[in-house]
Every structure is written in structure tokens, then in C-alpha cells.
Amino acid sequence: MIKSYDLIILGGGIAGYTAAIRASQLGLRAALIEKDRVGGTCLHKGCIPTKAFLKSAEVFQQVKNAGHFGVQTAAAALQFSKVRERKDEIVQKLYQGVQSLVKQAKVDSFTGTATFVSNESTTEHHTVIKVNDDQTLEGKHIVIATGSRSRELSTMPFNNDLVLSSDNMVELRELPQSVTIVGGGVIGVEWAAMLADFDIPVTIIEPMDRLLPAEDESISKAMQTSLEAKGVTCWTSVKDIERSNDSAAIRFIHNEEERLVENEKILVAIGREAHTSDLNLDAIGVERDGNVILINDQQQTTVPNIYAAGDCTSGPQLAHKAAWQAKTAVEHIAGLQVEGYALSDIPRCIYTTPQAASVGLTQQQLERKQRPFEAKTYPLQFNGKALIEETTGFAKLLYDPETNDLLGLHLFGDHVTEMIGIGAMSLYVNASTEELAEVILPHPTLSETINEAAKMAIGSPLHI
């Protein structure tokens, strides 16, 4: 028997369950297909467990250095079993919450893998999907939200032993004695900072000429300085990376010299790739660039009644981007007016200690576009709350010299991931540096640094 729906959603991560809940709110009969657990990578293997680990690592260092603040403690001891338990409790609590939300939305849930039936069974208004090859669903519209998976290196495939993915890392029962991280992007630097704060020796190997190559160069430099201060060894501009003799040793070339790094484990953190290869998309005419599904501003694929959201599409692989795309797709399906959103205007956060956060364009992107801009940077060393927190960093503001419109905001320092929303809102409303400078922000807070950078831009700096 074929079950029919207004909307069928493939994948139960944040894009998938957001689509399901929004569909219910708009009166659409929806089905959600998930092969594992709702919540997806972010909840079970990515954002949430890693941030729980990072918080424990931060607290461990705070306790070790408590004497500097006049607080005497016994020697700090790390119990990683307790760290794991706390992480699992947080994940389980949020998982139960997502399950409850989907149930409240009265969405039909199916457990299994989904594939599209050939386009002979697909019409303009109905698409047929097989679940586990034994159940058939028919939908007027489809949202593909199948997420992503860790990208492998052909020279060192994952084996869940010596060569690990970030998915494997969150399931470790014990901390390794030492780790080599291949890849200096967001995943790599977060794990490097966390492990270093757990007092684990870490080496990062990055082929590009700097860590975090997608971020503003000022962020890259500050992050490398911070990691090296924690004891992390950072190699950039390397080539010919290969595993040595089926061990955890890695050979590579740096400045035309062969180098060898030997640690207990290897974490390959070269990014994630869209998980779409087993959906049979070619058979129904959904076009891709590699595994990435091509979409328009309304999230439609090249087949108009089929939409896509989240990591299976282009752009930054961020949970908040995925949720926004899913909401946009469902609202368009329901006939509501929706607008596109510049991917660069989606805030990006890195939860190391200190943190980094950015929104808008980087200085390097503006230079490549040959777009006129001005940059003002306010150092945290002049901010009272930064001195209290004992954090270093900056607020860097990029703006149009003719209109004074904000073009980008890049922050480095403790708690800046909680501040970047100011920049995101400013870009959304097309705020100028004058407007940012006139906003009254509370004192003493780190957020005042954004206000101070804006005051620098309009020529009326106060605390510098």
C-alpha cells in the first residue's frame, strides 16, 4: 500500500526535523525518514558533543589556573569518564526533546534508508520514494536533508583504530596519549584546542598556507598564536601527506624537506562531504556538483517539486544555516513569500578558548572582489571586561567607505560567539557604522568592543 503525503523529508537532522515541524505548523501532511536517530550529526556527533567536551577542557584549565585569581584548590585531576557521562547526558536530554517535538508535530516517522524511484514513476506533482526497499511513499513535495559525512583521505582511510574521523573521536572511551590532526579548518582547530586543554600533545598538519583558510587572515593568525601558546605544533603549507607503514606516523614535505610526525592517533579533519550518493538522484534528474545538490534561492533543485537543505547543499555546513534553509523550503512549498539569504551573512563560530566568530565578508574576499573597503580593529586589551576575564583578541570591522555600510565583522576572544549576533543583525538590517556606534551597549562587557570599532570607523574613538 502506497502512503501519500504533501511533503516527504529525507533525513532527520536539524534541517529535517525543522522542515517537519514547520510543515506541521503550516498544515501540511508530512513524513520524516531517518536511518538512525533524529537530531543528526550536530546533536549526536558534532556541535553538541564537541562543545560539551570543549567546556570540560576549559573548566579543567580554569581550575588548574585558579590560584592566579586568588582561589586555592587541590591539584586538578581529569576524569574523562565523567566528561563522557556529562556529554552523553546533554545529548540524551536534547535528543528526547527533539523526539518530543516531532511527535507533537504529528509527523509520520519512518526508520530506514530512502531512495528515489526512477523518473518513470515521478510526475510534476508526485514523487515516489522507497524506504528500505519494502515500503513505498508518495509525496507532492520532497525535502532532501541527508546531511554530510566525514571526508576521507585516500592515503589514510578511517579504520576507527589509528586513523579516526571526528565522528569516531566523540565516541572515544579514553583520551589518546598524543594526536596528529590532518586539517586545520574549524573541526581541526577545535579538536586541537580541546585536546591541548586536556594536556594532550597535538600536532596540526595543514596543506594551505594558514589555519582556518576560509576565515579572515587576522582570525587565522590569532588562532595559530593561541594554539601554539597551548603547546600545539602547527605545520602549514605542507604537501605529500601520507601515513607511514600502517602506523600512526605521518610523513609530509615542508619547505622541500621531508618531515615525520609520530603520535598515538591520527584525526583526519579535512571537512565533510554531502551525503547524497545513494539516493538515486540521477534517475530523477536532480543535478549535483559532485555530491552537492544544486538549488535556487527558494531551495528548489532542478526538479521543481524537490527541495534540498543543509549540508547536502553548497555553502557553510552549519546547523543554523540548515535550519533556515529547511524553513525557507517548507514555506515556499506552502505558497508563502520567501527571500534568499547571502551565505556570507550567516554567522560562523569556532568554540576554542579563546573563541573566534565572524559574519559577512573577509578582508581577503573583498580584496579579491576589488571592492573598496575600510578596516578598523579594536584590541580587547583596552576593554575592562577583557582584562577581568584575562582574554586577548580583537573586534575587526570592515565597512564600505562611501556608504559606511557594514561588510564584515570578525571577533577573537573569550565569549565572542555570544556577540556575533550583533553583526548578523546589523547585516540583516543593512546597518551603517554610525548606527553601530550609536547603539548603547552595557558596561562592562566584551560587546563594547564592537561599539568601539564602529566609533573608530566614524572618527570618534573613545577608549583608544
Q: Is 146 annotated in some ligand binding site?
A: yes
* 275 has catalytic annotation: no
Q: Is 184 annotated in some ligand binding site?
A: yes
DSSP states of 155-183: TB---SSSEE-HHHHTT-SS--S-EEEE-
- Nearest-angstrom CA–CA distance, 234 and 182: 10
Q: Is 46 annotated in some ligand binding site?
A: no
Q: Is 189 annotated in some ligand binding site?
A: yes
Q: Is 285 annotated in some ligand binding site?
A: no
Question: Kind and range of the H or E element at 379?
Answer: strand 374-379
SS3 191: helix
Q: Is 186 annotated in some ligand binding site?
A: yes
Q: Is 51 annotated in some ligand binding site?
A: yes
Q: Is 426 annotated in some ligand binding site?
A: no
Q: Is 97 annotated in some ligand binding site?
A: no
Q: Is 206 annotated in some ligand binding site?
A: yes
Is the bond leading into 444 cis (omega within 30 degrees of zero)? yes
User: Which entry of 141, 332, 443, 463 is annotated as an active-site residue?
Assistant: 443
The helix/strand count (H/E) of the chain reads as 13, 24
Angle at 312 between CA 310 and CA 315, to 5 degrees: 70
Angle at 171 between CA 165 and CA 177, to 5 degrees: 75
- Nearest-angstrom CA–CA distance, 35 and 14: 14
- Nearest-angstrom CA–CA distance, 232 and 443: 35
- Half-sphere exposure of residue 97: CA atoms within 13 angstroms, side-chain side: 9
Q: Is 188 annotated in some ligand binding site?
A: yes
- CA separation, residue 130 to residues 134, 249, 281, 282 (Å): 7, 44, 13, 15
Give Dmax (Cα) for the chain. Answer: 73
Residues of the binding site for FAD: 51, 146-148, 311
The set of catalytic residues is 443
Residues of the binding site for NAD(+): 183-190, 206, 271
Residues of the binding site: 51, 146-148, 183-190, 206, 271, 311
